[in-house]
Amino acid sequence: MWRSPSSSSSLCISFYSIHLCTLLLFINQHFVVVSSQPLYTNSRWIVNSTGQRVKLACINWVSHMDVMLAEGLNQQPVNAISKAIINMGFNCVRLTWPLFLFTNDSLGSITVRQSFKNLGLFSSIVDLQANNPFIVDLSVLDAYKAVVASLAKNNVMIILDNHISKPGWCCSRFDGNGFFGDQYFDPHLWIQGLTKVATTFKAINNVVGMSLRNELRGPLQNVDDWYRYMQKGAEAVHAANSDILIILSGLSFDKDLSFLHQRPMNLTFSGKLVFEIHRYGFTDGDTWSAENANQACGEVLNEMVSKGAFVLEQGYPLFVSEFGVDQRGTNVNDNRYFNCFLGLAAELDFDWALWTLVGSYYLRDGIMGLNEYYGVLDWNWFDIRNSSFLQRISAIRTPFQGPGYTETHPHKVIFHPMTGLCIQRTSLLQPLELGACSEAEAWGYAPAKTLTVIGNYFCLQADKLGQPVKLNMVCSDDSSKWDIISDSKMHLSSKLQDATSVCLDVDPNNVIVTQTCKCLSTNDTTCDPGSQWFKIIDSTRATKIIKSSLQIKPIIHFLVRNFFGSYI
């Protein structure tokens, strides 16, 4: 959502006024810390040199395809793209690269112009000349360096990701790039390439990490070779540049790290190791649209934790370096998956990289200018494809907890994945509603299953079906107890005075109400429970304090509750 320098100033003013400023007002409530190297690991957290947590909130920028140039440079100036990444609320880019770019001198030395000509992309050369004239006659290797330099200049952190060996689209089980010993995956050449990349970018402070290989897979994959070569690759990168994080992917398209349960890594260094996993809706086929959504969510989350997220408990950071959805919002499978995934992302507070920045490709699957519907940018790299999606992920851009984020005592916030918002209270006289998580109400969740507002005497209470929930001082009856039910573990259920079971829900005005619990039957495959999915999240992040609700004495609370009973 930006204009190139050749655009008129009036258009730029109009664009920023109408489109970007509205988005930035929201994003600024969730400011993302940008840091430069060196970064370290402190147990499960990534931290800077002062020990404060730095949460990676990244976007994937594809640069591993046949052209061997970061996508989109025919559409916008590289610096405009770099600035837009920050403006959209990301602090980091996972920049992909093909191994042969750095290990095959004849390949890496061809000019960008020649690379485009070889693929018949003549019109793209004209567009590239218009938007990035200085890049056209650079070698493809120097063009990659120029993109890294632009990101660093604009204070974007960079993860260099070895995505593939032979340039092209990724990934399949039989593409020759999947595992050590495959046709295009010589492990010794790979280690040489990792060493060269680590050395080449050692002086770039914003290069904070290297992801050693994307989505290991295929018939040759095995655990013993994973340990053998991943340990060698990690040692080689650390020897070349001891400042950067070393990020290791798992097996089976980066879904599986379960072998780490029994066999830890054996490295000569510490404080630098991060593990990564991937997850999409299509990872599980049509599970999300063909099965009951609660059941699917429970199954997938159990697998993600048992095969990947458990490393957090082992004391390592987890980087979910690929996830994403069809940004058009029409894919039922993706929509249900993402409601579930976002709940886990908030609960576990892991680092992440969204797929993808790319709005369109120079060439993919034989199609010039292929539209990428998972891209946050539209086909023309000018418009944001779905601004509401960026608002929705705002809550997970900044830490809920971690070193340096202990502004308040530990508490809970109640997160609503379908909107990316949290339960808050705007005033004493208004019902609870959804709003920015930076202004969320601070809750306690007691063993007795009561949800109490930190700092006063109120607990959450179900009132009437279809009506707003209340805050009450009497917390002993069933209507004040909230069970976490369903396979998804995201329904909050209570009972009305007539013993009717209800669940938290959201009305069209974002007011928190109770409704009949939906989608609980495993036979119901068409129901979408998203509006009733809530996650109780651990947090030490500062929340908005409603003084009127914290400073009134108990007797005043009681009188106000009775006078305004329908609201509180």
Check pLDDT > 60 for residue 217: yes
What is the pLDDT, as a whole number, of residue 546? 40
423: confidence class by pLDDT, cuts 50, 70, 90 = very high
Q: How far is CA 59 from CA 199, 317, 326, 351, in A?
A: 24, 18, 15, 11
For the segment 417-423, the average pLDDT, to the nearest whole number, is: 97
Q: Count Cα neighbours of 329 within 13 Å in the Cβ-side half-sphere.
A: 8
544: confidence class by pLDDT, cuts 50, 70, 90 = low
Distance, CA of 512 to CA of 563 (rounded, Å): 20
Residues 174-215 have pLDDT tens digits of: 999 999 999 999 999 999 999 999 999 999 999 999 999 999
What is the pLDDT, as a whole number, of residue 37? 74
Q: Which two tokens stand for residue 35?
A: 């840091």
563: confidence class by pLDDT, cuts 50, 70, 90 = very low
What is the pLDDT, as a whole number, of residue 19? 41
Nearest to 145 by CA among 67, 78, 236: 78
Q: Which is higher by pLDDT, 22 or 386?
A: 386
Query: What single-letter DSSP state applies at residue 28?
Result: G
Tell how strand 273-278 and strand 318-323 pair up: parallel
Query: Please, which residues have CB within 8 angstroms of residue 247's CB and are 6 or more apart in sequence?
Result: 159, 209, 210, 211, 212, 274, 275, 276, 319, 321
Q: Which two tokens stand for residue 513?
A: 């109400």
Cβ atoms within 10 Å of 107's Cβ, excluding its own: 18
What is the pLDDT, as a whole number, of residue 35? 61
- Rounded to 10 deg, the angle between the 332-348 and 293-304 helix axes is 50
* Token pair 């396979």: residue: 487
What is the pLDDT, as a whole number, of residue 393? 97
Check pLDDT > 90 for residue 428: no
Nearest to 364 by CA among 144, 71, 12: 71
Torsion from C-alpha of 396, 399, 402, 407, nearest 10 degrees:
-140
For the segment 111-127, the average pLDDT, to the nearest whole number, is: 98
Distance, CA of 21 to CA of 11 (rounded, Å): 14
Element (H, E) at 139: none
For the segment 221-236, the average pLDDT, to the nearest whole number, is: 98
What is the pLDDT, as a whole number, of residue 541? 86
521-524 contacts: CB < 8 A, separation 24 or more? 521/292, 522/291, 522/292, 522/294, 522/295, 523/292, 524/292
Distance, CA of 344 to CA of 277 (rounded, Å): 14
429: confidence class by pLDDT, cuts 50, 70, 90 = confident
What is the pLDDT, as a whole number, of residue 17? 32
Please tell me whether residue 183 adopts helix, strand or coil conformation: coil
What is the pLDDT, as a whole number, of residue 31? 45
Distance, CA of 391 to CA of 52 (rounded, Å): 25
Distance, CA of 99 to CA of 552 (rounded, Å): 65
Distance, CA of 293 to CA of 313 (rounded, Å): 27
Element (H, E) at 107: helix 105-108
> Are 487 and 533 in contact, with CB atoms under 8 Å apart?
no
For the segment 540-551, the average pLDDT, to the nearest whole number, is: 56
What is the pLDDT, as a whole number, of residue 34? 63
Q: How far is CA 369 from CA 74, 111, 147, 360, 378, in A?
A: 10, 21, 20, 6, 12
Share of the chain above pLDDT 70, in %: 89
> Are 88 and 383 in contact, with CB atoms under 8 Å apart?
no
Residues 369-415 have pLDDT tens digits of: 999 999 999 999 999 999 999 999 999 999 999 999 988 899 999 99
- Could you tell me the fold of the domain covering 47-394? TIM Barrel (3.20.20)
Check pLDDT > 90 for residue 483: yes
Strand partners, 117: none
Tell how strand 207-211 and strand 245-249 pair up: parallel
Check pLDDT > 60 for residue 558: no
Query: Please, which residues have CB within 8 angstroms of residue 287's CB and are 6 or more apart in sequence?
Result: 296, 299, 300, 333
What is the pLDDT, as a whole number, of residue 456? 84
Q: Does domain 409-537 match CATH 3.40.50.300?
A: no
For the segment 98-124, the average pLDDT, to the nearest whole number, is: 97
Q: Which two tokens stand for residue 390?
A: 């960026």
Strand partners, 483: 493
Q: Where are the domains of the chain?
A: 47-394, 409-537
Q: Count Cα neighbours of 274 within 13 Å in the Cβ-side half-sphere.
A: 31
Average pLDDT value over all residues in the chain: 90
Residue 181, by phi and psi: left (phi above 0), alpha (psi -120 to 50) or beta?
Answer: left
Residues 277-333 have pLDDT tens digits of: 999 999 999 999 999 999 999 999 999 999 999 999 999 999 999 999 999 999 999
Residues 325-359 have pLDDT tens digits of: 999 999 999 999 999 999 999 999 999 999 999 99
> Are 556 and 549 in contact, with CB atoms under 8 Å apart?
no
Nearest to 471 by CA among 534, 531, 557: 557
